[in-house]
Amino acid sequence: MKRYRKLIIAVAVIAFGFGVITAADLFREIATNLRIYNKVVEHLITEYVDEINSEELIRASIKGMLRDLDPYTVYIQEDDQMEVGMLTRGKYGGVGIRLGVRGDTLTVIAPMEDTPAYRAGIRPGDKIIKIDHESALELRTDAAAQKIRGKPGTEVILTIYRYGEIEPFDIALVREEIKIKDLPYYGINNGIGYIRVSRFSRDTAKEFRAAAAELQQQGIEGLVVDLRDNPGGLLQDAVVMVDALVEPGLGIVETRGRTKKATRKYASENEPVLDLETPLVVLVNQGSASASEIVSGAIQDLDRGVIIGERTFGKGLVQSIFQVGKNTSLKATTAKYYIPSGRLIQKEDYLENGVLTDGLDKTDSLFVTRNGRVVKGGGGITPDIEMESPVLTPLASRLFSRSLYFAFAALHQNSYDLSVPVVITDEIMEDFRAFLEQKKVEVSFPGEKELEAFEANLEKLDSFDGKVDLSELKAYYERRSKTAFVDEHDQIRRLLRLEFASIVGGFGQRIQSALKDDPAYLRAVEILHSPLAYKETLQPEGQTAHKN
């Protein structure tokens, strides 16, 4: 009790309205509310018409207490503790989905690379509305993760709602042992170094420093750090990664909380591994979150490199774990991330009820980088060069969601004389078309579902006389269905190439193959090969960069 008393006293003087709440006031308020809570529990346990399990009642009340806070403050029960332990060892049975909550709905932040979820075509932004046909609308991230994880070889069915689709659809996934690789690939192409970072764990920074040093020794002209679909991880490793790219003595990130322990500034301390004259590009997208946003945000604020891609996820909350029972813990948000310009990474989409704020976390303001460039607040990191991720065409997307590229490549991996770099021949494409005809793939095109609904509603009207002619529209969709494979030939060929590249050369080869026609990566290479364009991107508006 003394330990909790000290903690409360440390934060007990809180400005509120026209007065202050002192330590004594706070203790009295807590004691009063706890007495009320105990009385409610006592009456329910002893007098409620049906017998109540006291343990389940307390658990439910704790979860209710946390529900209106943020998505990351959760009560961790015994089963979840085991899952956390498995994750710290780097492997677990699951499908490889990084989850978050957006708009009160369970949302895919990103599928982990080379996992069942990734191969099935699950995308960032997909809404998971059911797990094994049971509603997931009320589930928090930890509870959902527990349902999705399980013994390798077993199946889980996810019901997905995807933006642009009219109806939700099911995806059946077979769980595997998930082993997460922090740096799945790094290498050099045409003088430009490339490092893919998939998450931030205990060894990420060490591996990154070694990879960057190796590439630097090989004389690279520039470096691309790919943080797309990276959900984050350990704060310390994000700090050390930035430390490897900038000079000593620069602020990298600050955590601000209500306690002294939760408030801390992190700065670069060591000589950089990458030469400061070596130009740098960081790739991000909507799946880049937390530690990824610390790295990309610090690089942007310090004008060390150019950020290319989509606005990032906006997860800037720090969690701490407190043991509250023998086999239970509380994972609570204890601080927020602020990057060098003073921007708050977290989006203002949480903490609406029962919370006192000081009004200082305004995210709609403009901020200034080290060079004087104006950058946007509002949560997340807005790239210097914004590029939307390519959108899959209807048939290509449907084949991806049904894992048919993967299925065909796995079935025919020994049928063709393939080597790296993989080339998909016309023969392979024709074989794939025949394979799809056997699968009887159904695909809906934009507007087709609405047309069917419109026709159905017309037929229900008493005044309908059959004179509305929809034949031309129907014929249009029939033609699109028949020509879809030819119309979407390039996208289908590319996705098939990536699956065969994985089989022939491993996941690193898949990444290399994907980069060949990756618009964001090609734009990064273009910038890195143009010193003037690179410098101009990092100059404040109205200033002109000059060649040295």
CA distance 297 to 303: 10
pLDDT at 480: 92
* Per-domain residue ranges of the chain: 2-52, 78-179, 185-319+334-350+361-389, 394-525
What pLDDT is recorded for position 125? 74
**Per-residue pLDDT, 359:** 44
With beta carbons less than 8 A apart as the criterion, state whether 111 and 229 touch.
Answer: yes
Q: Residue 373: which H helix or E strand, with range?
A: none
pLDDT at 206: 92
CA distances from 480 to 29, 79, 105, 360, 459 (A): 67, 50, 34, 54, 25
CA distance 396 to 493: 9
Query: Which residue among the candidates 114, 301, 384, 518 is catalytic per the annotation?
Result: 301
pLDDT on residue 108? 85
Q: Which residues pair with 186 in a beta bridge?
A: 195
Annotated catalytic residue within 198, 201, 268, 290: 290
In this predicted model, what pLDDT tens digit does every residue of 126-183 receive, in sequence order? 889 999 999 998 888 878 988 999 889 999 999 999 876 788 999 999 999 887 678 9
Question: Exactly one of 303, 315, 329, 397 is catalytic; which is it?
Answer: 315
pLDDT at 101: 76
> Out of 3.40.50.300, 3.40.50.150, 3.90.226.10, 3.90.1200.10, which CATH number does the structure's domain 185-319+334-350+361-389 have?
3.90.226.10
Q: Can you give the pLDDT at residue 11?
A: 37
150 close to 119: Cβ distance less than 8 angstroms: no
315 is catalytic: yes
Spell out the alpha helix ranges (H) of 11-104: 23-47, 54-67, 78-88
Q: Which CATH number fits the domain 78-179, given the four candidates 1.10.3720.10, 3.10.20.30, 2.30.42.10, 3.40.50.620?
A: 2.30.42.10
Report the pLDDT value the prediction gives residue 520, as an integer from 0 to 100: 98
Question: Tokens 């389940």 label which residue?
Answer: 56
Q: Report how far residue 374's alpha carbon sits from residue 540's, in angstroms, rounded to the nearest whole number.
A: 7
Positions in the chain short of pLDDT 50: 1-19, 82, 85-88, 352-361, 363
At residue 437, the pLDDT reads 92
Residue 290 among the catalytic residues: yes
Q: Tell me, what's the pLDDT at 9? A: 37
* Identical topology for domains 78-179 and 185-319+334-350+361-389: no
